[in-house]
Amino acid sequence: MTDQPRLAQPSAFAAGVPRNADLPLTPQPSPGRGSVPFDLPGVHVGTAEYGEGPTGCTVIHVPAGARTAVDARGGAVGMSGGYDFNHAVCLAGGSVYGLAAATGVSDELLARRENRTRWDDLQLVSGAVIYDFSCRDSAVYPDAELGRAALRGAREGLFPVGRCGAGRTASAGKVEFGRAEFAGQGAAFGAFGEAKVLVATVVNAVGAVVDRNGTIVRGNYHAGEGARRHPRDDYAATIGEPAPAVMGNTTLTVMVTNVRLTDGELLQVGRQVHSSMHRGIQPFHTLTDGDVLFAMTTDEVDLAGVKPTALGTLASEVAWDAILSAVE
């Protein structure tokens, strides 16, 4: 229930905390509070975590490959690859160090191709990361072994949600960090005739999460008042005063559809959906966010009657559901 606060304890950022090389790390399952079912044949999802972080990663694997458009916004993007065709996308905590998880996914896919390296056997993997050190006292990050574990555990038809995978220690609503609350990873699926859309998002935003009634449901919690406030009220009160920005944020999103679109249409639908997410996360795409959306299509159905704008509009509602799913 989002009406119960779950304040994120700020990190002490102490020197000498353990990192991966200091611990006998073993990848663990990261099931979250449950899973969202989806019907997109050929799309597999896996999660894994290090409890010692805690931190984790999420892998979306499309063995046949999927055309991809990337929309990256904000002032602090952390991404690798960014290809226009991918066999997997790896989302991870650990900030820049967590990009190592994508290399493990690549290595596992190479092994599955029996180490064949002909150009048309190459497996393309893009990665993106959130900064999740803000509310944990360790330097443990998702590495190649954790990426391999997430891919090995990937299954069709279910997307784990809650405080799991890349969203294991995500937080939101950071006008001041003492008001931040734990968020997580969310997903939602929509079918509109033959057109299908899956949206999954890891919410680790400066902004607070807003429901369709305009109510703040996660983040910017004022303990003294026992209530959440819209960030605009706090920002209005600080105009003209020194107010250091809370660093280390980012929301990562993957949208997968089965509708065949041109490259230009896929990019524009992705941008439309990404822009729409400001309704559920306020503010969004800030100077200290590094928001990334991967728009992917399996090219399964050719629906000449489906206008990209209509698909983007419907997918935008699915995206809002995914945001709310991330903070339940």
The residues pairing with 324 across neighbouring beta strands, listed in sequence order, are: none
250 tagged catalytic? yes
What is the rounded radius of gyration, in angstroms, for the C-alpha atoms of the chain? 19
Cα separations (Å) of 269 from 100, 247, 296? 29, 29, 10
Closest residue by Cα to residue 79 from 283, 256, 250, 255:
250
Quote the CA–CA distance of 156 and 98 in Å, as a whole number.
24
For the residues 109-117, what does the mean pLDDT come to? Answer: 97
Mean pLDDT, the chain, as a whole number? 95
The pLDDT of residue 328 is above 70: yes
Residue keyed to tokens 């997430």: 150
pTM for this model (two decimals): 0.96
Are 62 and 88 contacting, i.e. CB atoms less than 8 angstroms apart? yes
pLDDT 10s digits, 265-279: 999 999 999 999 999
The per-residue pLDDT for 324 is 98
Tokens of 140: 């443990």
The 10 Å CB-count burial string (b at 16+, else e) for 153-163 is: bbeeebbbbbb
Share of the chain above pLDDT 70, in %: 98
- Cα dihedral sign, 19-75-293-170: positive
Count of residues in the chain? 328
- Listed range (30-34, 161-165, 230-234) with the worst mean pLDDT: 230-234
Quote the CA–CA distance of 28 and 48 in Å, as a whole number.
6
What one-letter code names the amino acid at 133? Answer: F
The pLDDT of residue 306 is above 90: no
Q: Which one is catalytic: 55, 201, 250, 286?
A: 250
The per-residue pLDDT for 304 is 77
Look at 75 and 21; give whichever has higher pLDDT.
Answer: 21
Residue keyed to tokens 């089965």: 258
The pLDDT of residue 1 is above 70: no
Are 163 and 202 contacting, i.e. CB atoms less than 8 angstroms apart? no
Quote the CA–CA distance of 140 and 143 in Å, as a whole number.
9
Q: Residues near 148 by Cβ (< 8 Å), separated by ≥ 6?
A: 27, 104, 105, 107, 108
Q: Is the peptide bond before 283 cis (omega within 30 degrees of 0)?
A: yes
Quote the CA–CA distance of 29 and 216 in Å, as a whole number.
31
